[in-house]
Chain A
Amino acid sequence: MKLTELFSTGKPVLSFEVFPPKTTDKMESVKKATEEIAALHPAFMSVTYGAGGGTSAYTVAVAKNIQETHGVSSLAHLTCVSSTREQIDHQLRLLSENGIENIMALRGDIPEGATAPEEWSFRHASELIAYIKTKGDFCIGGACYPEGHPESANQREDIANLKKKVDAGCDFLTTQMFFDNNILYNFLYKIREAGIRVPVAAGIMPVTNGRQIARICRISGNSLPPRFKQIIDRFADRPGAMKQAGVAFATEQIIDLLANGVEHVHVYSMNKPDVAAKIMDNLSKIL
């Protein structure tokens, strides 16, 4: 099913994100984890892009498996980085042949020591989106950055780029993770003021590893609210406690979003069925 249909039902949409294996021998364990998440019947699941090597085919395999085992619509990521036009064409064919109608078109992170970036055919997500539009009837998602893209000069430039992406044919947006809902509310005001009307799914990361998140936030420029820092300071050394606190914090964020009319939430659950299950359970009467 196309995700635009899901977003227009007027009901809350909760989705999970998973990633494909890096090597073939991990395929079985990834399949098992993602199937367990699919068994919770979220509105849809997204599968990140395995750039380079043969791993882009794993994205398709995992996405297909999710749809076939539990009837959960899947959204396959696709990036500009590391892709020539031929590779993109190949991937689009593969997705189409495997019944995957939804694509998340991203620029992707430029890997350190990237070889031959001059061979990549698309510089910006907006170019990739416009290209996919010409290649078939896909529903296309794009990313957006409530705290600003780390590489853009200011939020005004950021929102101008976002407008370009949407005008290029992006059907919905998913936000980067944020830990303070007010940041999202301010961002929504700004993009709506700029005339961007596509559905926006708010990206929520349940933090289960305190140290990791502190590092990620330093890199991505995410701000951590004091209340959240205190949780990390207190529980980062106790994995079980950290997981419990992280899931509770994410649940609270989601409930606040729903209460404020933000009906679409995308959870960066990664391949952790227990985390996804706890969140679903916490919201069982709310969704």
Chain B
Amino acid sequence: MGRKGAGSRRLSESLLNKEIWLCLALLCCILWETALLVAAMRPEGDEVWKGEWALAIGVIADTVRTEIQGAPTDMKGSAYDDSFLSERNYGGERKHYGTDLMDLADTPGRLPIYSMTKGVVTNLGWNELGGWRVGVTSPSGVYYYYAHLHSYAPGLEIGDTVQPGRLLGYMGDSGYGEEGTTGRFPTHLHLGIQVYPEAGDESWINPYPFLMERESK
């Protein structure tokens, strides 16, 4: 879950390109420079990495926090936990780059999925890991990824401008296979937040604290 399809690549696989990354970073704005430097210098081990990265994206976190203005689903009917970077095994060993919101009744099509932010629908349709998914890119360029949907809101199309609270579709159990595969896992929403889509999987951040924070308000 949580990985965008072809095109995304892991920074760890391209350590040879570290210099290139650093050069690029110089050309970027100061914000991104900091983020990438820390990412490139990260020591081995996810725990440390998680911490370092979290520091680097502190500024971005504020952006995300401000632009999230709605819940992704009916929070009463679902449950979630902090599972960021836990192990997942479909499609080879990989990490979990998001938060799963489980339908307490495990019934596909029951719970609505809403856009948490303002933005533009930039991805729609099937993807092997995410099933029927929606990607919304916010005005700040952060990518919000809603995966494993049961169905889409009528009329939703790529290029649509959405507001927080806009119905995107319904929670489901699609994905982990060819188009139309369902039932490989219990009904849930995989929510991903990617702060710098061009950097691939390294730039997914943990949605859990944002959800917690919103709920405790």
Using a CB–CB cutoff of 8 Å, the interface residues on chain A facing chain B are: 10, 185-186, 188-190, 192-193, 195-197, 259-263
Set A189, A195, A260, A262: member contacting B81, Cβ < 8 A: A189
Residues from chain B with Cβ under 8 Å of A186 in the complex: 79, 81
CB atoms of A195 and B185 under 8 A apart: yes
Residues from chain A with Cβ under 8 Å of B76 in the complex: 259-261
CB atoms of B110 and A188 under 8 A apart: no
B105 on the interface (CB 8 Å rule)? yes
Residues from chain B with Cβ under 8 Å of A196 in the complex: 186
Residues from chain A with Cβ under 8 Å of B105 in the complex: 261-263
Residues from chain B with Cβ under 8 Å of A190 in the complex: 81
Complex Cα spacing A262 to B76, Å: 11
CB atoms of B77 and A192 under 8 A apart: no
Binds A, one of B96-104, B134-142, B153-161, B162-170: B96-104
Distance in angstroms from A163 CB to nearest chain B CB is 12
Chosen A-B contacts, 12 in total, with CB atoms closer than 8 Å, are A185-B79, A186-B79, A186-B81, A188-B104, A192-B102, A192-B186, A193-B186, A195-B186, A261-B77, A261-B103, A261-B111, A263-B105
CB atoms of A197 and B106 under 8 A apart: yes
Residues from chain A with Cβ under 8 Å of B103 in the complex: 192, 261
Distance in angstroms from A228 CB to nearest chain B CB is 21
Residues from chain B with Cβ under 8 Å of A188 in the complex: 79, 102, 104
CB atoms of B102 and A189 under 8 A apart: yes
B80 on the interface (CB 8 Å rule)? yes
Complex Cα spacing A260 to B83, Å: 22
Distance in angstroms from B130 CB to nearest chain A CB is 17
Set B81, B104, B185: member contacting A261, Cβ < 8 A: B104
The A/B interface has a contact count, at CB < 8 Å, of: 45
B118 on the interface (CB 8 Å rule)? no
Per-residue CB contact flags for chain B residues 179-208 toward chain A (1 = under 8 Å, else 0) read: 000000111100000000000000000000
Distance in angstroms from B173 CB to nearest chain A CB is 9
Per-residue CB contact flags for chain B residues 104-115 toward chain A (1 = under 8 Å, else 0) read: 111100110000
Complex Cα spacing A197 to B185, Å: 8
Nearest A residue to B185, CB-CB? A195
Complex Cα spacing A260 to B111, Å: 11
Set B83, B104, B185: member contacting A262, Cβ < 8 A: B104
For this complex, into which size category does the number of interface residues on chain B fall? 20 to 34
Nearest B residue to A197, CB-CB? B186
CB atoms of A260 and B102 under 8 A apart: no
**Contacts A189-B80, A197-B106, A261-B103 supplied; 10 other A-B pairs, CB < 8 Å:** A188-B79, A188-B102, A189-B81, A192-B186, A193-B186, A195-B186, A260-B76, A261-B105, A261-B107, A262-B105
| Residue from B104, B105, B107, B185 whose CB has the most chain A CB atoms within 10 Å | B104
CB atoms of B106 and A192 under 8 A apart: yes
Give the 3 A-B residue pairs with the shortest CB-CB distance, closest first: A189-B79, A261-B105, A192-B186
Distance in angstroms from B176 CB to nearest chain A CB is 11
Complex Cα spacing A10 to B110, Å: 11
CB atoms of B186 and A260 under 8 A apart: no
Complex Cα spacing A234 to B100, Å: 41
Per-residue CB contact flags for chain B residues 17-43 toward chain A (1 = under 8 Å, else 0) read: 000000000000000000000000000
Residues from chain A with Cβ under 8 Å of B83 in the complex: 193
Set B77, B78, B100, B111: member contacting A193, Cβ < 8 A: B100
Residues from chain B with Cβ under 8 Å of A192 in the complex: 102-103, 106, 186-188
Complex Cα spacing A196 to B106, Å: 10
Per-residue CB contact flags for chain B residues 63-102 toward chain A (1 = under 8 Å, else 0) read: 0000000000000111111010000000000000000101
Distance in angstroms from A188 CB to nearest chain B CB is 5
Residues from chain B with Cβ under 8 Å of A185 in the complex: 79, 104
Residues from chain A with Cβ under 8 Å of B102 in the complex: 188-189, 192-193
Complex Cα spacing A189 to B99, Å: 12
Nearest A residue to B105, CB-CB? A261
Nearest A residue to B186, CB-CB? A192
CB atoms of B104 and A260 under 8 A apart: yes
Residues from chain B with Cβ under 8 Å of A260 in the complex: 76-77, 104
Residues from chain B with Cβ under 8 Å of A259 in the complex: 76
Complex Cα spacing A188 to B111, Å: 16
| Residue from A10, A186, A193, A195 whose CB has the most chain B CB atoms within 10 Å | A193
Nearest B residue to A257, CB-CB? B104
Complex Cα spacing A262 to B77, Å: 8
Complex Cα spacing A149 to B100, Å: 25
Residues from chain A with Cβ under 8 Å of B186 in the complex: 192-193, 195-197
Complex Cα spacing A262 to B78, Å: 10
Distance in angstroms from B150 CB to nearest chain A CB is 15
